[in-house]
């Protein structure tokens, strides 16, 4: 690939996926984050704090990326702060790159909260979205940092003349340590603790999630769509949902995950039973497991993010995603979700993240 790429949030779950895809395709890849830990081999690190405009200006001075993949966010206490901080990060970066004037395309990763509403509203809001969610659905009438990030991209695109694409994954499956939201490694850590202690692997979510249809997004398929949209004229200036291409029910998937780990599973038991409470006392057990099995991360909370798994699995509706928009334009990649979990668990075991 003859592009010079800048992956922003390169050590996160989405950023690592697109970094690997770009490296595999032979692109020149720069990866921006504060710390280099977890950076994909073949990526050149750009250290910068997106909350500090001066730092970002200095860090990108002299860099001339043609394609920017924006895959980061910073979790704040409420949506008003999420908007200020996360839209600000997009603006700071695009303003800094505007000076070099070389950017041709910006791809922004947001997510299904575009349709469901932000975390502090989506479970509680009275209006539930139509599913499967489709790109054509209008924005909800509530503030959402994804909308503000999109608006920053649209404004900068008008100013600087680049094309853009927006990508909306469902829950992402992939490897990242110390990141904010990772259902795959959360379930892997929880199942490993169940195995160690003899506890049952209990579904923490709602009846709607247990019985209803769902889908997910492997970081590798998200990466393929990002590269496809950013390098294919037909796809430019569009917003695209992105999921693996299959659907499943948690009542089907949960026992399969339990089986992979060799633990006894327990399904929906009449009410939501949050994983955050279930795992609340597990940090010391994990520390002991890390020492016993030589694991690379002794801090459970850098591997597991149960608060996020709870929010996903306790939704009061089934949530799945229409993929027709990118399919119509020729994006045909597919990934089995069960294989996505198994591939991740295998990688986590090989890399000594789990026993
Ligand atoms: N994870 C999911 O399941 C999921 C599902 C659907 C949608 N999404 C969306 O996908 C987008 C990307 O999220 P993600 O989950 O991939 O993120 P993530 O895994 O938490 O990674 C965040 C990345 O950004 C970097 N970063 C964080 N704060 C920074 C700062 N102030 N300055 C510079 N770099 C910073 C982090 O590295 P450092 O900490 O070293 O800086 C890391 O590389 C978000 O909009 C998210 O809502 C995620």
State the pLDDT at residue 122: 66
40 within domain boundaries: yes
Residue with the nearest Cα to atom 36 of ligand 1? Answer: 9
Domain that holds residue 125: 4-172+216-242
Active site annotation includes 146: yes
Whether 241 contacts 322, CB under 8 Å: yes
Domain's final residue, options 204, 227, 242: 242
Predicted confidence (pLDDT) at residue 125 exceeds the cutoff of 70 = no
Looking only at the bridges linking them, the beta strands covering 201-202 and 248-249 are unpaired
Residues 14 and 126 in one domain: yes
Predicted confidence (pLDDT) at residue 123 exceeds the cutoff of 60 = no
Look-up: residue for tokens 């006392």? 281
State the pLDDT at residue 174: 98
The residue-averaged pLDDT of 245-261 equals 98
Residues 50 and 108 in one domain: yes
Residue with the nearest Cα to atom 13 of ligand 1? Answer: 72
Regarding the beta carbon of 55 and ligand 1, being less than 6 Å apart is answered: no
State the pLDDT at residue 1: 83
Cα(304)–Cα(124) distance, rounded to whole angstroms? 24
Residues 114 and 184 in one domain: no
The residue-averaged pLDDT of 261-265 equals 98
**Could you report the per-residue pLDDT of 309-342, keeping only the tens digit for each?**
999 999 988 999 999 999 999 999 999 999 999 9
State the pLDDT at residue 130: 87
Predicted confidence (pLDDT) at residue 206 exceeds the cutoff of 80 = yes
State the pLDDT at residue 124: 58
Quick one: which atom of ligand 1 is closest to the CA of 180? 20
The residue-averaged pLDDT of 282-311 equals 98
Regarding the beta carbon of 176 and ligand 1, being less than 6 Å apart is answered: yes
**Could you report the per-residue pLDDT of 168-182, keeping only the tens digit for each?**
999 999 999 999 999
The residue-averaged pLDDT of 99-108 equals 95
Residues 25 and 106 in one domain: yes
Look-up: residue for tokens 């939201």? 181
**Could you report the per-residue pLDDT of 50-87, keeping only the tens digit for each?**
999 999 999 999 999 999 999 999 999 999 999 999 99
Structure tokens at 283: 């940090």
Residues 203 and 287 in one domain: yes
190 within domain boundaries: yes
**Could you report the per-residue pLDDT of 83-100, keeping only the tens digit for each?**
999 999 999 999 999 988
In the chain, how many domains are there? Answer: 2
Residues 235 and 340 in one domain: no
Choosing from 9, 81, 85, 133 the residue with most ligand 1 atoms within 8 A of its CB, the one to mutate for a pocket test is 9
Residues 185 and 228 in one domain: no
Cα(249)–Cα(30) distance, rounded to whole angstroms? 38
pTM of the model: 0.98
Regarding the beta carbon of 50 and ligand 1, being less than 6 Å apart is answered: yes
State the pLDDT at residue 126: 62
Active site annotation includes 240: no
Looking only at the bridges linking them, the beta strands covering 163-169 and 238-242 are parallel
How far is the centre of ligand 1, averaged over its atoms, from the C-alpha of 60 (Å)? 19
Determine which one of 115, 122, 146, 240 is catalytic. Answer: 146
């Amino acid at each position: 690939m003859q592009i010079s790429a800048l992956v922003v949030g390169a050590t996160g779950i989405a950023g690592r996926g697109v970094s690997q895809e770009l490296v595999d395709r032979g692109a020149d890849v720069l990866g921006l984050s504060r710390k280099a830990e977890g950076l994909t081999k073949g990526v050149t690190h750009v250290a910068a704090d997106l909350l500090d405009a001066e730092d970002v200006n200095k860090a990108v001075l002299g860099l001339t990326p043609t394609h920017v993949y924006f895959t980061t966010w910073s979790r704040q206490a409420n949506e008003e702060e999420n908007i200020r901080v996360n839209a600000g990060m997009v603006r700071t970066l695009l303003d800094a790159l505007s000076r070099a004037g070389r950017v041709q395309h910006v791809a922004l990763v947001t997510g299904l909260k575009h349709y469901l509403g932000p975390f502090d509203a989506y479970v509680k809001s009275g209006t539930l979205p139509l599913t499967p969610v489709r790109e054509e659905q209008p924005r909800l009438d509530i503030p959402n940092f994804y909308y503000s990030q999109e608006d920053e991209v649209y404004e900068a695109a008008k100013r600087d003349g680049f094309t853009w694409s927006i990508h909306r994954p469902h829950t992402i499956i992939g490897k990242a340590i110390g990141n904010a939201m990772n259902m795959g490694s959360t379930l892997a850590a929880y199942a490993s603790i169940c195995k160690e202690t003899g506890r049952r692997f209990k579904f923490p979510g709602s009846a709607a999630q247990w019985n209803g249809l769902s889908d997910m997004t492997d970081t590798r398929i998200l990466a393929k769509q990002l590269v496809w949209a950013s390098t294919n004229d037909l796809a430019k200036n569009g917003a695209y949902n992105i999921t693996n291409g299959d659907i499943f029910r948690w009542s089907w998937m949960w026992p399969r995950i339990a089986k992979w780990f060799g633990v006894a599973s327990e399904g929906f038991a009449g009410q939501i039973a949050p994983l955050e409470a279930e795992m609340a006392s597990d940090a010391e057990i994990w520390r002991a497991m890390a020492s016993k099995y030589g694991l690379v991360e002794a801090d459970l909370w850098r591997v597991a993010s149960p608060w996020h798994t709870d929010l996903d699995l306790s939704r009061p509706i089934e949530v799945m995603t229409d993929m027709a928009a990118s399919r119509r334009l020729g994006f045909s990649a597919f990934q089995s979700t069960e294989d996505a979990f198994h591939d991740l668990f295998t990688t986590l075991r090989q890399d000594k993240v789990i026993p």
